[in-house]
Amino acid sequence: MRTLLPLLVLTAATPLAAQDPHAGHDMGEAAEQADPSPGPTMETPPPPEAGEGPPRAADAIWGAEAMTASREDLRKMHGDFPVFWFQGDRIETQIRNRADTYLWDIQGYYGGPTDRLWFKTEGEGEWGDAPEDAELQALYAKAIRPFWDIQAGVRHDIAGPDTTHAVIGIQGLAPYMFEVDAALFLSHRGDLTARIEAEIDQRITQRLILQPRVEANLSAQSIPLLGIGAGLDQIEVGGRLRYELRREFAPYIGIEQSWRTGAGADFARARGEGTSATSLIAGIRFWF
Amino acid sequence: MSPISRRGFVRAAGAAAGFAAMPAWAQGHSLHATKGGTPIRVGFDEVRGAVIDLAVGHGPRMVQGRKGHGVAVNGSVPGPLIRLREGQNVRLNVTNHLSEDTSIHWHGLLVPFHMDGVPGISFPGIAPGQTFAYEFPVRQSGTYWYHSHSGLQEQQGHYGPLVIDPAGAEPAEYDRDYILLLSEFTPLHPHRIMDRLRKGEGYFNYQQTAWADDYPLSAADRRMWAEMRMPATDIADVTGSTYTYLANGRGPKEGMEFAFNPGERIRLRVINGAAQTFFNLRIPGLPMTVIASDGQNVAPVEVDEFQIGTAETYDIIIQPTAEAYTIVAESMDRSGLAIATLASRPGARAAIPPPRKPPLLDMGDMGMNHGDGAHSMDGMKMRDTLLLPPDVTVGPGIDMVSMAPVDKLGDPGLGLRDVEHRVLNYRMLAALEPNADTREPSRLLELHLTGNMERYMWSFDGEMYSAVHDKPIRFAHDERVRVKLVNNTMMAHPIHLHGMFFTLVNGESPAHQPRKSVVIVQPGASAQFDLTADAPGDWAFHCHLLYHMHGGMMQTVTVMGP
């Protein structure tokens, strides 16, 4: 009851029409019976008196020239503005039985939310040696669906036999939060290959994140020059456990198993290489 | 902060005049380079009169030991209280001491469009070193605020309260008159925040679902959210992980105090001057009588808690009798809070309630009918674009379409749907003074709030401002229009129209539909307002979450002249 007094004093000063302090409480239900504020329910276009053309009222006051720069700024800053993203997704050392290797997997883009210029580079090699595999991609990406970009461009292999590929791919977020990157590569020698990568972040805590990852490399034909077998040439499955000291910087440890399969395995054996490898991993993931 | 007593305002020492000339903290150094200079003061002075000088500068800021760099009006954050009287004319000389353009928008004020302060729409902006004179008649009374409409300066501290006393008598009785301006401090530059929002979805959210969480979600619920690629915990884009929430510029540990004598009636003018935060405000042990919203008087209604969306204002009457009370303004995601104390003697304190559990989005927030009772996605399409009217541009910028959006003006807001005390909602508001125009609207304008959380794109009808900058929403002069806002996103958006009040279609008669300048449209829901387009010119219309506006949720409204 102690709360009633101020309410009474207040309401005494209000016009009769608004005296019920709880007016509106039950109006939601009441509205369904007799609409207290009827109005149109179908959208119709504005009348001709609403005019047409761009908004230029300020030009009449300040002059069109004076308005140009701020109008341009407003457009540039509200919606489609570019950002630069650089991510070292996997910068790691892999500890194996025979020889330890290093690996990098870096990507980034410059652009707005729907049109971006991408670059990707990845490669690996034994510590102390030049990379065995290394590639660089330059791609243009366009959003085709809310969660998917289509990417097209070129890839150049800078270790091993000099090879240039045309690239077309998709990258995005699949249902159940899988980050997917899939691409087809057509080399200048006419060989068609493909790569599919998928990874998913499993938050254990807000900062400790387990990331299972799978990558498969496929080929439409055997490519003896590169030691690639037709069909599923190679597959790797791994898990990385990272701790996000900051969102942008996370050291991780992990384990990964890779297999060469089918004709790919035959090539590996012919070269005296193993057909499977188990690696313990330590690395960092960062972006800015 | 000094109290403003009803009949004679206590003037703080060293008010406007001393700062306006050429403040030491505003010597025009680069905003991003120098971290030196005179620190920005906390709290605000008061300025009034027919001619008011304001200086926009920058300097170092410190909140609870956290250092940052800020932009300030007259050297303080918040900027000075601008106190005006209905019926007066005012000239506000705003001098820019920054090295970039600035502006001041008078939020909620009915001014000629070219005095509204939006660079690129109403005027060219204020260049470095320039002084711009805003001149307009004061045609209203109530609680308002002002802020920069240039870049992201508002986040850096460029805002302050604005109170207009009525020409006649105040309808409410009170002994003390206080302002509680809620906002945020972050040491991060706002460009960095925008950049992180665009790049890393959930960057600031440290309340996400995880193996180790204790959210009341079943495995099936978690799979459903993952399948949709949507986080149930996406309540606030920027959170207490970087923000310290402020009461009149002070952090929760910095002892913001409002003095009172037990039994006195206090008018508390609550202004949400935050860039990106909704607050849920309560004063444990003390009921609050809401008497105004967005500056406009409403029929008094007593509640125990209310949600205040970004840029909204609520005036409340409270009558404390105990020694002290804690005013708790919880950020909607409950990642932090702003605190002030009602103290009957200096230093008196009441308990600070423990934080409540973070809320979660639910099926209703996806625009699905609660009545279905279904907790599965079976047979449901999250993005059935056939449900959208043809004037919505369908593309990657729309990641969700509400299946069955319902009017939720009766929704108290996220986190407040299941509390056990009385919570305000828009259906409880009724205009105190009747509205002048009660015509039935001649047409319906339906606008869809659209977005893509992953890409951090926000828009009306599927197109960001950058795509529709030359395609305004047009109204004929004095046209009476019902505007229906349909939220196809899972975030609540505080939608703000410059230059005119609209009235919420909340079940009241047209004469008593409450006048507002900001309306929260709940996730997956709709809201309607009636508008009399009686202010010719070009006006900004946008989501008042700063980073949503910059993400594209903005459009120009053009009202034709007579």
ipTM value? 0.89
> DSSP letters of B484-497?
EEEE-SSS-EEEEE
For residue B23, is the peptide bond before it cis, meaning its omega torsion is within 30 degrees of 0? Answer: no
Chain A contacts of B472, Cβ < 8 Å?
Answer: 54-55
Q: Is the pLDDT of residue B10 over 70?
A: no
For chains A and B, CB pairs below 8 A equal 281
Q: What is the pLDDT of residue B31?
A: 45
Average pLDDT over all residues of chain B = 92
- List the domain boundaries for chain A: 90-287
Q: What is the pLDDT of residue B378?
A: 56
Q: Using CB atoms, pick whichever of B121, B505, B528 lies closest to residue A55.
A: B121
Residue pLDDT, tens place only, B312-368: 999 999 999 999 999 999 999 999 999 999 999 999 999 999 989 999 999 889 888
| For range A205-212, the mean pLDDT | 97
User: For residue A113, how many other CB atoms are within 10 A of its CB?
Assistant: 23
* Cα–Cα distance, B27 to B98 (Å, whole number): 8
Cβ contact B444–A206 (<8 Å): no
* Cα–Cα distance, A18 to B298 (Å, whole number): 8
Distances (CA, A) of A57 to B61, B103, B468, B479: 39, 18, 16, 18
Q: What is the pLDDT of residue A97?
A: 80
- Beta strands (DSSP E) in B16-124 are 41-42, 46-48, 51-63, 66-73, 76-77, 81-85, 89-96, 105-107
pLDDT band at A12 (very low <50, low <70, confident <90, very high): very low
Cβ contact A43–B383 (<8 Å): no
Q: Is the pLDDT of residue A30 over 50?
A: no
Chain B contacts of A39, Cβ < 8 Å?
Answer: 440-441, 444, 482, 505, 528, 530
Residue written as token pair 């002994």: B175
Tokens encoding B124 = 């060219």
Residue range A90-287, CATH number? 2.40.160.40
pLDDT above 70 coverage of chain A, percent: 89
Distances (CA, A) of B238 to A80, B66, B242, B362: 20, 17, 7, 20
Q: What is the pLDDT of residue B376?
A: 52
Cβ contact A79–B227 (<8 Å): no
Q: What is the pLDDT of residue A3?
A: 41
Judge contact between A78 and B550, C-beta under 8 A: yes
b/e string for A216-235 if b means 16 or more Cβ within 10 A? bbbbeebbeebbbbeebbbb
Cβ contact A46–B319 (<8 Å): no
Q: What is the pLDDT of residue A5?
A: 40
What SS3 class is residue B171? Answer: coil
Chain A contacts of B207, Cβ < 8 Å?
Answer: 206
Q: What is the pLDDT of residue B18?
A: 34
Q: Using CB atoms, pick whichever of A21, A41, A44 lies closest to residue B299.
A: A21
The amino acid present at B534, given as its one-letter code, is D
* Cα–Cα distance, B181 to B159 (Å, whole number): 10
Q: Is the pLDDT of residue B32 over 80?
A: no
Q: Using CB atoms, pick whichever of A47, A58, A206 lies closest to residue B122.
A: A58
pLDDT above 90 coverage of chain B, percent: 88
Residue pLDDT, tens place only, B398-428: 999 999 999 999 999 999 999 999 999 999 9
Range from A78-82, B8-12, B217-221, B513-517 carrying the lowest mean pLDDT = B8-12
Q: Is the pLDDT of residue B372 over 70?
A: no
The shortest C-alpha distance from A30 to chain B (Å) reads 8
Q: Using CB atoms, pick whichever of B289, B395, B397 lies closest to residue A6.
A: B289
Cβ contact A52–B474 (<8 Å): yes
Chain A contacts of B552, Cβ < 8 Å?
Answer: 78-80
Q: What is the pLDDT of residue A31?
A: 45
- Beta strands (DSSP E) in B367-517 are 443-452, 457-460, 473-475, 479-487, 493-497, 502-504, 515-516
Cβ contact B113–A114 (<8 Å): no
Q: What is the pLDDT of residue A10?
A: 41
Q: Of all residues in chain A, what percent are helix, strand and coil, respectively (each to 5)?
A: 20, 50, 30
* Cα–Cα distance, B443 to B479 (Å, whole number): 9
pTM over 0.95: no
Q: Are strands B457-460 and B443-452 parallel, antiparallel or unpaired?
A: antiparallel
Chain B contacts of A73, Cβ < 8 Å?
Answer: 101, 119-120, 125
pLDDT band at B201 (very low <50, low <70, confident <90, very high): confident
Q: Which DSSP state fits B295?
A: T
Residue pLDDT, tens place only, B223-233: 999 999 999 99
Q: Is the pLDDT of residue B17 over 80?
A: no
Of the candidates B547, B305, B503, the residue with the CA atom closest to the CA atom of residue B422: B305
Chain A residues 59-118 within an 8 A CB cutoff of chain B: 61-62, 66-67, 69-81, 83, 85, 113-114
Chain B contacts of A13, Cβ < 8 Å?
Answer: 171-173
Distances (CA, A) of B125 to A157, A244, B71, B148, B450: 51, 42, 16, 10, 29
